[in-house]
Amino acid sequence: MSRYDTYETIKAERRGRILTISLNRPDELNAVNAQLHRELSRIFRDARDDSEADIVVLTGEGRAFCAGGDIDWMQSTIDRPEEFEATGREAKDIVFSQLDLDKPLICRLNGHATGLGASLALLCDIVIASDRAKIGDPHVSVGLVAGDGGAFIWPQLVGYAKAKHYLLTGDLMSATEAERLGLVTKVVSPDELDAEVYGLAERLAGGALKAINWTKITANLPLKALFHAHFDAGLAYETMSNLTADHQEAVNAFREKRKPVFTGR
């Protein structure tokens, strides 16, 4: 049995030595629920240990890359806040297994990436985006702290002034603007996306893989040090924000298709 057969919300496919990992909840825009979160916490380790894969591509099925957290899952963690303990452990596993993956990880950003979806994309080594995609981290828009990655990776890529503007407003930006700011590597038309992504993947697969892999490991050392030093605090603040009235109001407003009325509580 393949190591990937047990996954229900992630699909794995091979193109020679290239492994494509696809978030596979297309009807929900690949929003992350409890199941997908659990599976994300181990998929990058499985990819690391996969002796048949030299290059990994991360993408989403359907028209979105990942729409962030699933609203029903948010309500579940409000009703049962003890669930956030497991969520926090999984969040650490997701981030650190992604940073520890010693193979090139290319994001095929096929559509919108928000919240955790943006963090998953930005923690990849190279991000090639469709010009129809938008990216942002609107945790604050649902009354949560961007503690599961966004508050740390955004400033590293675009600087604190730009990062804090987007993190504190929750605004989305176009892929073209993201490329201008240095948030993503390259933007192409949807028709060109596969050729660009897999052309690069094949080029890397034909390269000096040990040198490439060890260069990636070396480049990630400062990022790993940053996350090891501060990630627990980010998760703690996000856990506290899960208990706020504003977070519940945001969930209610989303379900009722109205603008939330925040009270600062």
Over residues 177-227, the pLDDT tens digits come to 999 999 999 999 999 999 999 999 999 999 999 999 999 999 999 999 999
The pLDDT value recorded for residue 130 is 98
Quickly list H helices, 105-243.
Answer: 116-122, 150-158, 160-169, 175-181, 190-205, 209-241
18 Cβ neighbours under 8 A, 6+ residues apart: 53, 54, 55, 56, 57, 198, 201, 202, 205
User: What is the full per-residue pLDDT of the chain (265 aa) written as tens digits?
Assistant: 588 999 999 999 999 999 999 999 999 999 999 999 999 999 999 999 999 999 999 999 999 999 999 999 999 999 999 988 889 999 999 999 999 999 999 999 999 999 999 999 999 999 999 999 999 999 999 999 999 999 999 999 999 999 999 999 999 999 999 999 999 999 999 999 999 999 999 999 999 999 999 999 999 999 999 999 999 999 999 999 999 999 999 999 999 999 999 999 9
Q: What share of the chain is helix, strand, coil (3-state, %, to 5)?
A: 55, 15, 30
d(CA 119, CA 121) in angstroms, rounded, equals 5
The pLDDT value recorded for residue 21 is 98
The pLDDT value recorded for residue 17 is 97
Predicted TM-score (pTM) of this structure:
0.96
Beta-ladder partners of 169 = none
Specify whether the CB–CB gap between 105 and 124 falls below 8 A: yes
Using CA atoms, how far residue 156 sits from 105, 223, 225, 257, in Å, is 18, 8, 13, 34
What is the tally of helices (H) and strands (E) in the chain?
Answer: 10, 9
Strand pairing report for 134-136 and 173-174: antiparallel
230 Cβ neighbours under 8 A, 6+ residues apart: 152
**Tokens 């490329």 identify what position?**
179
**Of 101, 133, 100, 93, nearest in space to 117 by CA:** 133
